[in-house]
Structure 1
Amino acid sequence: MSSDPVREVADAYVRELARHEPDAALAFGLVARPLPDLSPEWLVAKYELQGATLPALDAAGPGDEMLRAALRERLERERLLFDTGFTPRLVAGLATPVHLVRYALEGRAVTADAAGEAVLATLEASPAAVREYISSLRWARDHGDRFTGGGVAPVRQLDTLASQVAMWAESDWFGSVPVVGDVDAATRARARAAADEIGVALAELVGVLRDELRPVAPTADGVGEAVYADLAAGMLGARIDLDETYAYGWSELQRLVSEARDLARALGGSGDDPVRATASLLDADPRYRLDCVTAIQAWLTRRVRETIDAVAPAFDLPAAVRDVECLVSEAATGVVYYTPGAPDGSTPGRVVWTIPSGVPVAATWQEVTSVHHEGVPGHHLQFVLTASYPELHAWQRHLCHIHGYAEGWAHYAEQLADELGLIRDPAERLGLVLGQIWRSVRIVADIGLHTGRPIPPNALVPEGEWTPELARDLLVDLALVEPALAGFEVDRYLGWPGQALAFKVGARLWNEARAAHQDRLGEAFSLRDFHRDALALGPMGLDPLRALLAR
């Protein structure tokens, strides 16, 4: 039991979370339910719990002041996300509650041991979790007047999720969770029955999305200036100047496009679009081309392992950083993503490369920067390092997930990888710059689509008004994003307002803090020490992080 009054408040908060959220239970070494509580009752109770914890936190005597600052910011901002309606009505093409149900089973198998029984328990809990999510969506609709952004997600998001969930049901994705080894017939029958019931629940969700919510959903995608500012603050953990950030995004976009064109010409590209011409050459180059799932997975595993070895001079690496799985999923999205390991170590962190089903071809030159972002020195390294700091409270080590902090670090890590020599040739550097262009488009498109800001005078696109089609075209034309993935990306921006800012806005803070630290220390500056000391502060919103890094 902690004698620190701030930690006592945090302990009480996490213990209540643990009754409903598996990660909180595992962080405290408690028995965890298979899946999070997705019911409207818990949505409301958690909001009230956060409201009650804030005054308790402020009233606590002197104690862990970094924890107090981090927890206060997160409680306030999570309540703000609720007040906009974002959390209760959450429907999007990525990371909604129903996606979390699927992610809990990604890459796992039912086996004849305790781990396999846990997977089976998750399968059997999934239908109820889907139905809890349905109840929450109905509750948000019925209480829409209390939310500044309304209680039903826009039509585009409802249609996107309905199509995804219908595809999961039609393909029997949950029924494809492997049952392997010496598993008895009764267990196999339980797995099959659970998958069948999940299919029924998913069909119910599709019906709710299409038949109940769509008729009352807004057709406009943008949320407007005031709601967007609140959502961006929640995603970043900071209030930002939207005009200045919008201008910064345009400046970065033009700078990076010019750099990409120079690199492409040096690599042999010519014509009106030297970047695309160079990309075609590189995609066909056997040095970079991978032609099957086995080859993609082998390259991904090898590159992550080699990168872990290469970053050692810049970090104090815990042994757990090598506990990472590299998976390939034919999920038809084309993105690389990371899922952290369980707080109790029962599952490792995973870097997952998704490829369109039936198209098992990839070009490594453009994906190296995604590997650095999702793996090392990006998300995987940051999560493992955070979990290794015993002085941090369990809430900060395992439960404090803030887009501005995590995505900002991972985007900073992309450029750091280049500094550390992990970008091996000009082709991979072109891939790095294209990734940075992608994140710059995110800034201008996200702010423009949601707030209605006009397109300023620039050398890349005519002045005018934002549309989803224009945002997709910028991703395709400037960042060479595949058209289907570009459409998915823009739908994501529209479904998660403000989240797209986290990458470059967060990285900007990390770079500014590092530069200021280096100016103060001069020749005594050590990159390894900066990373150790900065990451030891633990995850937190960008506002308190900025204040602490400036000390």
Structure 2
Amino acid sequence: MRASVILATLLLGVASVPAMAQDAAPSPAPTAAKPAPGPIDAKLRALYDAEWEWRQKENAQVKEGNRWVQGDRFSDETAAAQARRLAYWQDVLKQLDAIPMDQLSPEEQVNAAVFRQSVWENAKWLEYKTYEAPFNSDTFFWGGLNPRQGFGNATGYKRYLGRMRDIPRYFDENIVNMRAGLKRGYTVPRVGIEGRDTTIEAYTVPGEANPFYDAFRVMPQSIPPAEQAAMRAEALKAIETSVVPAYTKLLSFMRTEYMPKARTTIAAYALPDGKAFYQDMIKVFTTLDLTPEEIHEIGLKEVARIDADMQKTMRETGFKGTFPEFLQFLRTDPQFYAKTPRELLGAAAYTVKKMDGKLKDTFNFLPRYRFTVLPVPDVIAPIYTSGRGGLDSCLFNTYDLPQRPLYNIPALALHECNPGHSFQAAVALEAPDRPDFRRQTYFSGYGEGWGLYTEWLGSKIGIYETPYEEFGRQTFEMWRAARLVIDTGVHTKGWTRQQAIDYLASHTALAPRDVETEVDRYISWPAQALAYKLGELSLRKMRAKAEAELGAAFDQRPFHDTFLMLGSVPLPVMEQKMEEFIAAEKAKLAKAGK
């Protein structure tokens, strides 16, 4: 099933990271004027420019400078709107098929590949009517509607007030869709949503205690005091008349109607047209044409390889017991756990700052845009993953600290923050020579592959200071490899939830809470978890080839710049462009006589 807060952003392709309540991001650096495109290039550009503007308007976005930002309402979620979008995207694909790809310029060939995958994905989501299950165990259409931070100007607050007032309509449309899903047996698995209804409760509280009011507590001084007071009063009224009633109604629906009737099966194959659905989800999330059987075998091989690495690192710590005893030691010894949320956040911030000192040796291009480190909001922390990074902020979960080992923090911070997703999003924002749709399109195989690659990179540039931290990195790598086995096992081979939990727990040092949270995520979000390891394997394959063919002349800085400057692309396109990078570097060496 789709993630629902991300339902709008991924389904309609609005952003590569969760939307943040801030001023529009800085404009990309100016670039030199280009010659006029040829007629075939111009035809493609007209198609993707028109589609992108239509897409933003469908998602209720408004233009601010050269960025699209959230407007004063939410998108239309009715079945009629979904059918209209599907027809539009199917027509766009037909128009794209009529364009001779071999007559496009090299740059536009990349744009065409990205555009095709993006539009195909959006059409597939709607063909399977995934909007009828608009959330999963990890992400919800009712969450994330209130911002993590305030707004930079009065316009941002006024749009936010409009969205608050629009929540009842938005929720009602989602409820209608969910009832349609229940009727045809298309729901989130019951086991994957146990307890998720509690994430609604905080929003049923009236007055200033409601999280929707948080953005109004500290407002910019540029907004006059009288206007601030007026908007705060409007916020309290919107909370009373729109937010609280809508969330209260949703909570009742979830507890009395949806959850009791949600399906008890867990496999994607058990869904209507489930076999085709899962195969298409593999293509959506990995951009690769692999079968579940092929992915399962890749996972088993990676698990075996990483297990040997973990055994070696365990011996380097001096531990004398068995591997299961070592895992128990890591999960229970107080030395590995923060005593306060501030201590955990400090460990994350230390890794982020330590990586800052390595950036000049790792990249040539350094983006200007900066992110902050924040705790996961209390309202979702009990069921949220350990961390998540985006353009504006990088979140770390400080709930239940005895389940948050510090030896995992360096790898997590690299992946989510720097030089992982937050850094990656900033580069994508500021990279030149890219159409608007390319700046905000996201493919999990590319993006999550980079995140996992940066964890591995940390071991090459001196980030991990102890064998325990290296073991934390390895347990994260094993976690992603085990996903290949678990996801395909659950959705195509009849694995039970407990079988998946036992497999993940026995191969990693993840805390029990994380193990269960992650397995529930795989159950309710078929194929999404496959992107990480497959993307990383693809990128590491290209690095190994570059190192082999360039020898001592290999420089990781232009290699990384080339990858990130591509922006998010399908993995086959990434490999093609990295092949071109290697060929160009070899040509330089040949010309220099080296």
1:180 Cα deviation from its structure 2 partner = 2.4
Q: 1:22 to 1:307 in 2, by over 3 A?
A: farther
1:382-438 CA-to-partner distances (Å, cap 9, x unmatched) read 11111121211111111x112111111111111012112212221210110111121
Distance 2:320 2:306 in 1: 18
Distance 2:318 2:428 in 1: 43
Q: Which residue in the other structure is 1:338 paired with?
A: 388
Q: Which residue in the other structure is 2:306 paired with?
A: 256
Counterpart of 1:420 in structure 2: which amino acid? I
Distance 1:280 1:536 in 2: 40
Q: Which residue in the other structure is 2:341 paired with?
A: 293
Report if aligned partners of 2:403, 2:513 keep a CA contact under 8 Å in 1. no
Q: Which residue in the other structure is 2:514 paired with?
A: 485
Q: Which moved more, 1:14-23 or 1:245-254?
A: 14-23
Distance 1:424 1:471 in 2: 32
1:71 Cα deviation from its structure 2 partner = 0.7
1:119 Cα deviation from its structure 2 partner = 4.6
Q: Which residue in the other structure is 1:415 paired with?
A: 456
- 2:235 aligns with one of 187, 191, 194: 191
Report if aligned partners of 1:257, 1:437 keep a CA contact under 8 Å in 2. yes
Distance 1:480 1:56 in 2: 50
DSSP 3-state at the match of 2:432:
coil
Q: Which residue in the other structure is 2:29 paired with?
A: none
TM-score, normalised to structure 2, is: 0.79
1:536 Cα deviation from its structure 2 partner = 2.2
1:503 corresponds to 2:503: no
Q: Which residue in the other structure is 1:382 paired with?
A: 424
- 2:358 aligns with one of 298, 310, 317: 310
DSSP 3-state at the match of 2:145:
helix
Distance 2:526 2:260 in 1: 22
Report if aligned partners of 2:404, 2:511 keep a CA contact under 8 Å in 1. no
Report if aligned partners of 1:405, 1:539 keep a CA contact under 8 Å in 2. yes
Distance 1:374 1:339 in 2: 4
Distance 2:235 2:94 in 1: 46
Report if aligned partners of 1:84, 1:231 keep a CA contact under 8 Å in 2. no
1:1-23 CA-to-partner distances (Å, cap 9, x unmatched) read 98533222111011111213266
1:242 Cα deviation from its structure 2 partner = 2.4
Counterpart of 2:525 in structure 1: which amino acid? W
Q: Which residue in the other structure is 1:47 paired with?
A: 86
Report if aligned partners of 2:200, 2:251 keep a CA contact under 8 Å in 1. yes
Q: 1:12 to 1:377 in 2, by over 3 A?
A: same
Q: 1:24 to 1:109 in 2, by over 3 A?
A: closer
Q: Which residue in the other structure is 1:324 paired with?
A: 371
Q: Which residue in the other structure is 1:179 paired with?
A: 216
DSSP 3-state at the match of 1:177:
helix
Q: Which residue in the other structure is 1:515 paired with?
A: 544
- 1:207 aligns with one of 245, 249, 252: 252
Q: 1:204 to 1:264 in 2, by over 3 A?
A: same
Distance 2:243 2:166 in 1: 9
Q: Which residue in the other structure is 1:220 paired with?
A: 265
Q: 1:541 to 1:257 in 2, by over 3 A?
A: same
Q: Which residue in the other structure is 1:544 paired with?
A: 573
Q: Which residue in the other structure is 2:48 paired with?
A: 10
Counterpart of 1:508 in structure 2: which amino acid? L
Q: Which moved more, 1:226-235 or 1:78-87?
A: 78-87
1:279 Cα deviation from its structure 2 partner = 1.4
DSSP 3-state at the match of 1:70:
helix
Q: Which residue in the other structure is 2:133 paired with?
A: 89
1:101-152 CA-to-partner distances (Å, cap 9, x unmatched) read 25xx12x24788555545544444444433333233345556x5xxxxx643
Q: Which residue in the other structure is 2:433 paired with?
A: 391
1:226-265 CA-to-partner distances (Å, cap 9, x unmatched) read 3321211111122213223212212222332333233223
Distance 2:365 2:451 in 1: 17
DSSP 3-state at the match of 2:439:
helix
1:65 corresponds to 2:103: no
Q: 1:361 to 1:522 in 2, by over 3 A?
A: closer
Report if aligned partners of 2:70, 2:159 keep a CA contact under 8 Å in 1. no
Q: Which moved more, 1:537-546 or 1:17-26?
A: 17-26
Q: Which residue in the other structure is 1:474 paired with?
A: 503
Q: Which moved more, 1:476-485 or 1:157-166?
A: 157-166
Counterpart of 1:305 in structure 2: which amino acid? K
Q: 1:253 to 1:31 in 2, by over 3 A?
A: closer
Distance 1:176 1:477 in 2: 43
Counterpart of 1:49 in structure 2: which amino acid? Y
Q: Which residue in the other structure is 2:3 paired with?
A: none
Report if aligned partners of 1:159, 1:209 keep a CA contact under 8 Å in 2. no
Q: 1:49 to 1:546 in 2, by over 3 A?
A: farther
1:464-498 CA-to-partner distances (Å, cap 9, x unmatched) read xx210121223333322222332221111011100
Report if aligned partners of 1:26, 1:32 keep a CA contact under 8 Å in 2. no
Report if aligned partners of 2:62, 2:69 keep a CA contact under 8 Å in 1. no
Q: 1:68 to 1:290 in 2, by over 3 A?
A: same
Q: 1:540 to 1:230 in 2, by over 3 A?
A: same
Q: How many residues align?
A: 517
Q: 1:297 to 1:128 in 2, by over 3 A?
A: farther
1:99 corresponds to 2:134: no
1:279 corresponds to 2:317: no
Report if aligned partners of 2:62, 2:71 keep a CA contact under 8 Å in 1. no
Identical counterparts, % of pairs: 21
1:246-298 CA-to-partner distances (Å, cap 9, x unmatched) read 122122223323332332233243333342254157x533xx64322233333
Q: 1:80 to 1:115 in 2, by over 3 A?
A: closer
Report if aligned partners of 2:132, 2:177 keep a CA contact under 8 Å in 1. yes
Q: 1:47 to 1:520 in 2, by over 3 A?
A: farther
1:406 corresponds to 2:406: no
DSSP 3-state at the match of 1:97:
coil
Report if aligned partners of 1:20, 1:33 keep a CA contact under 8 Å in 2. no
Report if aligned partners of 1:110, 1:177 keep a CA contact under 8 Å in 2. no
- 2:398 aligns with one of 355, 365, 374: 355
Report if aligned partners of 2:283, 2:289 keep a CA contact under 8 Å in 1. yes
DSSP 3-state at the match of 1:351:
strand
Distance 1:440 1:34 in 2: 42
Q: Which moved more, 1:369-378 or 1:466-475?
A: 466-475
Q: Which residue in the other structure is 2:17 paired with?
A: none
TM-score, normalised to structure 1, is: 0.84
Q: 1:425 to 1:203 in 2, by over 3 A?
A: same
Counterpart of 1:303 in structure 2: which amino acid? T
1:32-71 CA-to-partner distances (Å, cap 9, x unmatched) read 4146415124433332221122222333463511100111
DSSP 3-state at the match of 1:338:
strand
DSSP 3-state at the match of 2:375:
strand
Counterpart of 1:427 in structure 2: which amino acid? Y
1:360-391 CA-to-partner distances (Å, cap 9, x unmatched) read 88542222111111011211121111112121
Distance 1:202 1:338 in 2: 25
Q: Which residue in the other structure is 1:452 paired with?
A: 493
Distance 2:64 2:132 in 1: 25
